[in-house]
Amino acid sequence: MNGSVATQARLWLWQRVSAMVLGVCVLVHLAVIIHAVRGGLSAAEILARTQGSWAFGAFYTVFVLAAAVHAPIGLARIAEEWLGWRGLKVTVATHLFGLLLLVTGLRAVYGVVVP
Amino acid sequence: MRRVNDLRARNHPAWWAFLMHRLSGLVLALFLPLHFWALGQALHGEAALDGFLKFADHSLVKFGEWGLVVLLALHLTGGLRLLLIEFGPWSGLRKNWIAGSVGLAAATGMAFALALIG
Amino acid sequence: MTSNLKVKVWRGREEGDFATYEVPRLESQTVLDVVTYIQRRVDPSLSYRYACRVGMCGSCAMTVNGVARWTCRTHVSKVAKDGRLEIAPLSNLPVVKDLVTDMSEFFDKWARALGRFKGGTSRKDDFARVKPESLERRAVDAGIECIGCGACYASCDVVSWRPEYLGPAALNRAWTLVNDVRDTQRQERLGAVAGDAGCHACHTLATCTERCPKQLAPTAGIAGLKRLLARTKLEAEA
């Protein structure tokens, strides 16, 4: 197996493994959403739930990491197959998108848990 | 020259499940940075986050959120089906899961709508 | 059964268009019968391909009302409910003329997937004993009846989107061979079918499995290859 083929096989596996993690995360997240929107959302209510909670912080950190792996791989497939992008263009664009998710995601977790 | 297929070739449950999965994934992926940015407002204090939440109270935004919840449920159950096909023992295209995932997404959508009202 | 069928047939090579023919509707008529009627009675310049007429040779597949089918075993009654037929060459392959496609790349990809058995014994050795109930033998059984008609390849969107993709038939063939315990090229073959030109490009659209006239499930074999590659890869890294 040459290098790029091995990378493609690895990306496929990462997307599946991240999907398994996300499967659990999304289930919990949906329950949290439906619970949280009862009676309307307010910042005080959200932050009361999240601030200082290590459980919330750990859970949503894992969630962000898994999403930052999963989404760019899927978007790369779409870019290749529906936009006709190939090679470096796909790699750069999807890495940047993954980085964006990682930075904004971890920032959001930090924002609602730590201050 | 090669001929390309149209919807007549594609019209079967597993293909529609694929399209549903891809489109829901695309919308969710593009929504994520926005979602993260909004929550990041908490860094600027409770008032900043409340400012955003006030904007999110518009009924059109609420409808959008409802759509995203349904898409998330669809992508979850559709993804479970794909994992079962790829990693589980072969037992056909598991079309019962396609019907089930649409049903479950509808149920999640209703639960979310009820929670919004209640 | 005296009414006529309205049959649109693709005429041309690189550029072309549908021509309409009237063909008498007969009992137990197949789509191949319809094409043959046109060629013999209406327009002898029509090109198409067939050999056995009984679903064994895999040479008569065409796009019938938008769907890839073996025409020799597709009854008109099944596909032309309103008396109309649209017959085109298979998708995803270069058109040679009218209903004939150039199948070279389809078969070249079988070769690229190492779709050829290579054993390690000679005629002087004893027979290999393969238990019929073993998992491997049953996996081979499930995929071995492919006649190479190209219906799956023509139906696959990933082939349209990624011209280098090996496609369902070649990968199904590779799957039957990696499960053949007598074959000696298992590792090379797994390497040849990995990646975005191989099994990892499949998104389980399953049109191949829906359209296979032999009711095979290339989707099952492709999923099996992905699993096997993940396992051998994890073992290699462990």
Domains detected in chain B: 18-117 (1.20.1300.10)
Nearest residue, CB atoms, B116 vs list A29, A37, A43: A37
CB contact under 8 A, C95 and B1: yes
Q: Please state, in angstroms and rounded to a whole number, the distance separating the CA atoms of residues C172 and C99.
A: 26
Residues 6+ apart with CB under 8 A from A51: A112, A113, A114, A115
Predicted confidence (pLDDT) at residue C238 exceeds the cutoff of 60: no
**Residues whose CB falls within 8 Å of the CB of residue B45, separated by 6 or more in sequence, listed in order:** none
Structure tokens that stand for A2 in this block: 């040459």
Looking at chain C, which residues constitute the CATH 3.10.20.30 domain(s)?
Answer: 4-101
b/e sequence C65-76, b meaning 16+ C-beta within 10 Å:
bbbbbbbbbbeb
* Whole-number average pLDDT of chain C: 95
Query: Are the C-beta atoms of residues A49 and A56 closer than 8 Å to each other?
Result: yes
Predicted TM-score of the model (pTM): 0.95
CB of A36 closer than 8 Å to CB of B79: no
Please tell me the predicted confidence (pLDDT) of residue A1.
67
Dihedral pair phi/psi, residue C105, rounded to 5°: -65, -30
Q: What's the pLDDT score for residue C167?
A: 98
Q: C173: distance to nearest CA of chain B, Å?
A: 17
Q: What is the pLDDT of residues C173-193, one digit of tens each?
A: 999 999 999 999 999 999 999
Q: What is the DSSP string of C56-112?
A: SS---EEEETTEEEEGGG-BHHHH-TTSEEEEEPPTTSBEEETTEE--HHHHHHHHH
Q: Return the pLDDT at C81.
A: 82
Contact B14, C206 (CB under 8 A): yes
State the CATH class of domain C104-237. Answer: mainly alpha
Please tell me the predicted confidence (pLDDT) of residue C180. Answer: 97
Q: Does residue C235 surpass a pLDDT of 90?
A: no
Q: What is the pLDDT of residues A6-42, one digit of tens each?
A: 999 999 999 999 999 999 999 999 999 999 998 888 8
Contact A9 C203 (CB under 8 A): no
Q: Which of C66, C90, C205 sits opposite B18 (nearest CB)?
A: C205
Distance separating alpha carbons of residues B70 and B78, to the nearest angstrom: 12
**Torsion of Cα atoms, B24 then B25 then B26 then B29, to 10°:** 120
Mean pLDDT, rounded, for B34-53: 91
- Read off the pLDDT band of C2 (50, 70, 90): low
Residue of A nearest to C232 (CA): A9
pLDDT at A2 over 80: no
Boundaries of domain holding A21: 3-113
Residue from B3, B21, B26, B90 to probe the interface with C (highest C Cβ count within 10 Å): B3
What's the length of chain C?
Answer: 238
User: pLDDT averaged over chain A?
Assistant: 94
Select the CATH number that applies to the domain covering C4-101 from these four: 3.10.20.30, 3.90.1010.10, 3.90.79.10, 3.90.1150.10: 3.10.20.30
End-to-end Cα distance, chain C: 68
> Could you report the per-residue pLDDT of C95-146, keeping only the tens digit for each?
999 999 999 999 999 999 999 999 999 999 999 999 999 999 999 999 999 9
Write down the pLDDT at residue A3.
Answer: 74
Whole-number pLDDT of residue C201: 97
Would you give the distance in Å from CA A41 to the centre of its chain? Answer: 23
| Domain containing residue A49: CATH number | 1.20.1300
Q: Does C237 score more than 70 pLDDT?
A: no
Which residue has 């290859």 as its token pair?
C225
Share of chain C above pLDDT 70, in %: 98
Mean pLDDT for B31-36 is: 97
Give the pLDDT mean for C20-34: 97
C22: three-class secondary structure by DSSP: strand
Helix and strand element counts for chain B (H, E): 5, 0
pLDDT per position as a tens digit, B47-65: 999 988 888 888 899 999 9
Q: Is A84 left (phi over 0), alpha (psi -120 to 50) or beta?
A: left
CATH 1.10.1060.10 domain range(s) in chain C? 104-237
User: Parallel, antiparallel, or unpaired for β C4-12 and C84-88?
Assistant: parallel
Counting the structural domains of chain A, the total is 1
